[in-house]
Amino acid sequence: MQILVLNGPNLNLLGTREPEIYGATTLADIEAACISHGATIGLTVSCAQSNCEGILIDHLHAARGTMAGVIINAGAYTHTSVALRDAISAIALPVVELHLSNTHAREAFRHVSLIAPVCVGVIQGFGARGYNLALDALKGHLTRA
């Protein structure tokens, strides 16, 4: 089973961007851990990141027919992008929404996710460990384990 781990805007700055919120782990570290953990649980993981909404949508469209599911940390687009929501709906794949921080413990504008209603689940607040949790959850969803 192939899984896409898709990261949105500013996540390329992990490790240096507000480490008190997002931690010291880099995106490269997270991607390597996802690939490793995925292999351990029988998943083939591909990773992508973009700061551009349209490119994220292109990745979602490309996942259709090639991936079994998607894990997306859409960053700030979570709270603003109807286009990402529509793309998630259109690809008809199980998608897990992921956030490093607990968005409900932050600014009020981060409390509403436009994409959560079209995702199979949401994992947030566990830092970089959340990616492994998301992989486990998505594998369970796909295999009904």
Q: What positions carry a catalytic annotation?
A: 22, 99
C-beta of residue 67 within 8 angstroms of C-beta of residue 44: no
**CA geometry: angle at 15 spanning 73 and 6, to 5°?**
20
Number of Cβ atoms within 10 Å of the Cβ of 125: 14
Can you tell me the distance from the alpha carbon of 111 to that of 107, in angstroms, rounded to the nearest whole number? 7
Sort strands 2-7 and 69-73 into parallel, antiparallel or unpaired: parallel
